[in-house]
Chain A
Amino acid sequence: MTRLQTVVRWAGPILWLTLALPPVRHALESTLTLQMLVQIPLLALVGWWLRPFLPDRAVKVLNAWNRGGISGLLLASFAAMIWMLPRTMDSALNVPWVELAKFTSVPVLLGLPLAVSWPRAGFVVRGVFLVEATATAFRLGWLYLVSPQRLCSNYLLGDQQLAGNALLAIGAAMSLLLAWKLMWGHVDVDGSHRRSHA
């Protein structure tokens, strides 16, 4: 294994530790926008990068329960849903075990299942997942913008508005990207998954 490969292999744990360092943690949790749109996605990325640490045997067992990547993507969606709730993000700041839960469950229940399932998912499953993700970005953004009171006690209303606008922008960007790719880009419908066609 070359040096580079070793570094890449350990990128997940390194990022994990970095995010856990108190100064980094405090900085990324200082605003709602940073926590939701930077810290949590990075934690999910940690999980994605943990994929090489899964023993082959485990992957085989998992795959048996993960036809077309559907169960894994569902699991990831549920985990994501929980960590998108303002209330959970809020209590992560106040309650230490919730914070601990965030640092473990986002990589393990969100990032890792994504990494395991995405390559196995076919066009349709990926499509449903992406459409749902895009819709959720719009919904959450709208929700944050119209919520009459502060959803989080630790963050200001202005911060919530910023997060809302950022989510709408993300939704719009995802729609445009998807539309562009489907209209003019190159999509590998078959090679993207290892399911055999009947």
Chain B
Amino acid sequence: MASLTMYPDDERLAGGERIAFNLYIVTAVALFVLMMLLGLTMRMTQAKWLTVQSPLFYQLLSMHGAGMVGTMALVTTAVMWFFLRKYVQLHLWAFVANYVLFMLGALCIIASIFVGRYGALWTFLYPLPVRGFGLWTSNTSALFMVGYLLIGVGSLLFYLDAAAGIIKVHGNLGRALGLQWLFGGKIDPDHPKAVVASTQVIISNSLGILAGAVVLVMSLVNIFFPTVVLNALLAKNLIYWFGHQYINATIYMGVIAVYELLPRYTGKPYPISRPFLWSWAASTLFVIVVYPHHLLMDFAQPRWLAVIGQMVSWGAGFPVFLVTVFGALTNLHRSGIRWTMPSRLLILSMFGWAAGIVPAILDGTIRNNLVMHNTQWVPGHFHFYLLLGVLAMAMALMYHVIGSRVSAPPNSSADKLGFPLYLAGGLIFTYAFLDAGRLSVPRRMAEHLDSWTFTDKVGSIGAILVVLAMLYFAIRISAGLLKQPSAGAAGVSTADAAG
């Protein structure tokens, strides 16, 4: 069971670990701000407050999509590493190798977009990358894909090292997930939730990376030997199988922060339970098989795949609502919590995840998908749980760590202002997308009709608030991390659990 000690000794960041962790976080918050500015530029272009030519718009969209997904993976990897290293042996070289490969991959992607003008978006749907109509060349797309491969290898190295550590302690991944306790037996109360969640991520994301490695190399083969023509539907299946698991893994890595930190801030134990193990076993299966909901409008797919896509999308709500979010709220209930930044962000993240799933499930329903697919409903729901859910989880850990430098959980007046700014901006921004989805505004489109610009304008205003808040958070967090630990605060293990 995660301890209620606010800053336990085995979480101290010493030497190389501290440098690596800071590198991850400072890089990530800087990238978030930059990518958000790109997003704001797009939103204001749609609102006709800015003029950006279509080719550039789609370059920005490619950058924002790939950049945000990648950065989210980077930062949640840091969350997983931060907690998992307490329970199993992780090698710093793997954590650092992931960072280095990520940065190399990012360089390839940035070069391909801003030098080579790549504009086939983060999903590189075959055969668009080789049909750039002179705007970008096939070699440009190849560079983009090589960037992905580098990032994928980095993730794989990190996951394999984590798998080695977990297997060494728990024997195999099945036992690490706690499958042996599903139907009975006394659950080891010290079995770490961080291990359960990490194991799920290792399983599903390794499969995703395998699929990505296959389809990326096949796309590269097609680029260099155009006579080898791929099956577009097969490529699409593999791309979404990879993409879905990759982005979803960020939630499952990020939520470790909630399991670990929330009980420290509420001061109430948050024990592991059988429903918890069931929910993770189920969601491991779900995240692997749910991807057909991205292909509901591909009528050529076998019907049973579409049925799986819908039913599993619905089913995916169960573990989230009944276990993770319900458990977090139970933990919070009458805990006597004193609100500080980490605890606010943790609870916000639970809300963002739970509420964001509702429009996702609705869109995962075939009947609704017939009118909602590829409208701005889609960015509406995923920004909801990425911006208000996952990013909040990651920032909760960041704020928690900077708290250890100053001996009290961070809660400055600027923080008290930044948080509602972020929340209000985020809600305005995401609901504007959802409303645009209701109004049938297509996603991924540079040129909006005049009748669509109302939601674009509202969304832009929300986005401005989010960018301002994030800019503040980024500076605050970077400055806090780079500060030397204050002498008295290093490893304060006596801090009042209730904050």
Binding site for B on A (CB under 8 A): 122-124, 127-128, 131-132, 134-135, 138-139, 142-143, 146-149, 175, 179, 181-187, 189-190
- Taking the nearest CB of chain A, how far is it from the CB of B198, in angstroms? 14
Q: Is B420 an interface residue (CB 8 A)?
A: no
- Taking the nearest CB of chain A, how far is it from the CB of B224, in angstroms? 12
* A183 in contact with B164 (CB, 8 Å): no
Contact of A184 among B153, B174, B206 (CB under 8 A): B174
Knowing A131-B156, A186-B172, the reply to whether A146 touches B163 (Cβ < 8 A) is no
| 27 A-B residue pairs with CB within 8 Å | A122-B164, A123-B160, A123-B163, A123-B167, A124-B94, A124-B161, A127-B156, A128-B157, A131-B156, A131-B206, A131-B213, A135-B210, A135-B213, A135-B214, A139-B221, A143-B228, A146-B228, A146-B229, A175-B210, A179-B203, A181-B172, A182-B163, A182-B172, A182-B203, A183-B203, A185-B172, A187-B167
Knowing A128-B160, A143-B218, the reply to whether A148 touches B229 (Cβ < 8 A) is yes
Interface string of B215-253 (1 = CB under 8 A from A): 001100100000111110010000000000000000000
Please give, as numbers and ranges, the residues of chain A lying within 8 Å of B229 by CB-CB distance.
146, 148
* B231 in contact with A128 (CB, 8 Å): no
* A138 in contact with B172 (CB, 8 Å): no
Contact of A131 among B174, B203, B210 (CB under 8 A): B210
* B218 in contact with A139 (CB, 8 Å): yes
Q: Is B55 an interface residue (CB 8 A)?
A: no
Residue among A122, A149, A181, A182 facing the most chain B CB atoms (10 A cut-off):
A182
* A135 in contact with B217 (CB, 8 Å): yes
A171's closest neighbor in chain B, by CB? B214
Q: Is B168 an interface residue (CB 8 A)?
A: yes
* A128 in contact with B156 (CB, 8 Å): yes
- Once bound together, how far apart are the Cα atoms of A124 and B164, in whole Å? 7
* A142 in contact with B164 (CB, 8 Å): no
Please give, as numbers and ranges, the residues of chain B lying within 8 Å of A142 by CB-CB distance.
214, 218, 230, 234
**CB within 8 Å of A: which B436-457 residues:** none
- Once bound together, how far apart are the Cα atoms of A175 and B229, in whole Å? 25
Q: Is B8 an interface residue (CB 8 A)?
A: no
Q: Is B80 an interface residue (CB 8 A)?
A: no
Q: Classify the interface of chain B: helix, strand, loop or mixed.
A: helix
- Taking the nearest CB of chain B, how far is it from the CB of A6, in angstroms? 38
B227's closest neighbor in chain A, by CB? A148
Knowing A143-B218, A143-B221, A146-B230, the reply to whether A127 touches B160 (Cβ < 8 A) is yes
A-B contact count (CB 8 A): 76
Please give, as numbers and ranges, the residues of chain B lying within 8 Å of A185 by CB-CB distance.
172
Please give, as numbers and ranges, the residues of chain B lying within 8 Å of A183 by CB-CB distance.
172-174, 203
- Once bound together, how far apart are the Cα atoms of A146 and B156, in whole Å? 28
Q: For the A-B complex with A146-B228, A182-B163 known, give 14 more contacts whose Cβ atoms are closer than 8 Å.
A: A127-B160, A127-B164, A134-B210, A135-B213, A142-B214, A143-B218, A143-B228, A148-B227, A148-B229, A182-B172, A182-B173, A184-B172, A187-B167, A189-B168
* B228 in contact with A148 (CB, 8 Å): yes
Knowing A131-B210, A135-B217, A143-B228, the reply to whether A124 touches B160 (Cβ < 8 A) is yes
- Taking the nearest CB of chain B, how far is it from the CB of A171, in angstroms? 9
- Once bound together, how far apart are the Cα atoms of A175 and B208, in whole Å? 12
A183's closest neighbor in chain B, by CB? B174
- Taking the nearest CB of chain B, how far is it from the CB of A120, in angstroms? 15
Q: Is B275 an interface residue (CB 8 A)?
A: no
* A146 in contact with B231 (CB, 8 Å): yes
Q: Is B171 an interface residue (CB 8 A)?
A: yes
A192's closest neighbor in chain B, by CB? B164
- Once bound together, how far apart are the Cα atoms of A183 and B230, in whole Å? 33
Please give, as numbers and ranges, the residues of chain A lying within 8 Å of B210 by CB-CB distance.
131, 134-135, 175
- Once bound together, how far apart are the Cα atoms of A123 and B166, in whole Å? 12
- Once bound together, how far apart are the Cα atoms of A134 and B211, in whole Å? 10
Please give, as numbers and ranges, the residues of chain B lying within 8 Å of A123 by CB-CB distance.
160-161, 163-164, 167
Knowing A124-B164, A135-B210, A139-B214, the reply to whether A147 touches B228 (Cβ < 8 A) is yes
- Once bound together, how far apart are the Cα atoms of A184 and B180, in whole Å? 10
Knowing A146-B230, A182-B173, the reply to whether A138 touches B157 (Cβ < 8 A) is no
Please give, as numbers and ranges, the residues of chain B lying within 8 Å of A139 by CB-CB distance.
214, 217-218, 221
Please give, as numbers and ranges, the residues of chain B lying within 8 Å of A148 by CB-CB distance.
227-229
Please give, as numbers and ranges, the residues of chain B lying within 8 Å of A189 by CB-CB distance.
164, 167-168
- Taking the nearest CB of chain B, how far is it from the CB of A174, in angstroms? 10
Contact of A190 among B94, B168, B172, B173 (CB under 8 A): B168
B230's closest neighbor in chain A, by CB? A146
- Taking the nearest CB of chain B, how far is it from the CB of A198, in angstroms? 9
Q: Which 10 A-B pairs have the closest CB atoms?
A: A123-B164, A127-B160, A124-B160, A135-B213, A183-B174, A189-B168, A138-B214, A189-B164, A184-B174, A182-B173
- Once bound together, how far apart are the Cα atoms of A132 and B153, in whole Å? 10
- Taking the nearest CB of chain A, how far is it from the CB of B118, in angstroms? 23
Interface string of B185-221 (1 = CB under 8 A from A): 0000000000000000001001101100110011001
Please give, as numbers and ranges, the residues of chain A lying within 8 Å of B228 by CB-CB distance.
143, 146-148
- Taking the nearest CB of chain A, how far is it from the CB of B17, in angstroms? 14
- Taking the nearest CB of chain A, how far is it from the CB of B141, in angstroms? 18
* A149 in contact with B163 (CB, 8 Å): no
A123's closest neighbor in chain B, by CB? B164
A142's closest neighbor in chain B, by CB? B218
A122's closest neighbor in chain B, by CB? B164
- Once bound together, how far apart are the Cα atoms of A175 and B94, in whole Å? 23
- Taking the nearest CB of chain B, how far is it from the CB of A24, in angstroms? 33
- Once bound together, how far apart are the Cα atoms of A135 and B163, in whole Å? 19
- Taking the nearest CB of chain A, how far is it from the CB of B88, in angstroms? 10
Please give, as numbers and ranges, the residues of chain B lying within 8 Å of A179 by CB-CB distance.
203
- Once bound together, how far apart are the Cα atoms of A146 and B171, in whole Å? 41
- Once bound together, how far apart are the Cα atoms of A186 and B174, in whole Å? 11
- Once bound together, how far apart are the Cα atoms of A182 and B156, in whole Å? 15
Knowing A128-B156, A147-B228, A175-B210, the reply to whether A187 touches B218 (Cβ < 8 A) is no
- Once bound together, how far apart are the Cα atoms of A143 and B219, in whole Å? 11
A151's closest neighbor in chain B, by CB? B228
